[in-house]
Amino acid sequence: GDSVTQMEGPVTLSEEAFLTINCTYTATGYPSLFWYVQYPGEGLQLLLKATKADDKGSNKGFEATYRKETTSFHLEKGSVQVSDSAVYFCALSEGGSNTGKLIFGQGTTLQVKP
Amino acid sequence: DTGVSQDPRHKITKRGQNVTFRCDPISEHNRLYWYRQTLGQGPEFLTYFQNEAQLEKSRLLSDRFSAERPKGSFSTLEIQRTEQGDSAMYLCASRKGQVADGYTFGSGTRLTVV
């Protein structure tokens, strides 16, 4: 079945450092891809999305490009802030599914130090 | 738009007891999902409703679990004869229209079975 694999964490960076969190997927159809962020004690918030190959999703300085040839959707940010500390989840929505359910990766914890 | 509301936020129960959680989706969202998230893992799909119809259930949803969405509005998730392995965060999400429109997640109900 469809699956999502993320780089293991935690990722620890200093403020203003460059961030990359790797995400690769396996899917039989043409999924939509998402990054969600979860702050401590809270639910998931949609960070960005891309619905077809070569689309770039962006929000709050974060970017990710839907790469069909490498089945990847890596999350990047040029300069992280302490407030970006959270758990980041890569997810796909099955392309051929009638339900549109999400398949999540295991999450990557980001810690940004001042 | 008041978001997706879940109640209670936290529940501690003794093994063997029954528990029920409630989710109130965004009012115009006709699609509703339940997910389970254990510590250090990404959310896993449990079940899906379109309006009042339960259209898909995961293998994770054992016979002890039941979900309803009467009248296509709020939804309840009941766990009978709870076990320690049921301890997790239970997340509800809703969406309207296409997958690409995105999902809105509630803050979750954290269940602890002692």
Is A94 a residue whose pLDDT tops 80?
Answer: no
**Contact between B107 and A101 using a beta-carbon 8 Å cutoff:** no
Q: Are A93 and A32 in contact (CB under 8 A)?
A: yes
Which chain B residues have a beta carbon less than 8 Å from that of A42? Answer: 107
CA gap B77, A99 in Å, rounded: 18
CA gap A100, A78 in Å, rounded: 31
Q: What is the mean pLDDT of residues A90-113?
A: 88
What is the predicted pLDDT for the residue at A97?
63
Which chain A residues have a beta carbon less than 8 Å from that of B31? Answer: 100
Average pLDDT, chain A: 93
Confidence band of B71 (pLDDT split at 50, 70, 90):
confident
pLDDT digits 0-9 by tens, B18-56: 999 999 999 989 999 999 999 889 999 999 999 999 999
Which residues of A fall below an 8 Å CB-CB distance to B?
A: 4, 32, 34, 36, 41-46, 49, 51, 89, 91, 93, 98-107
A6 phi/psi in degrees, rounded to 5: -115, 155
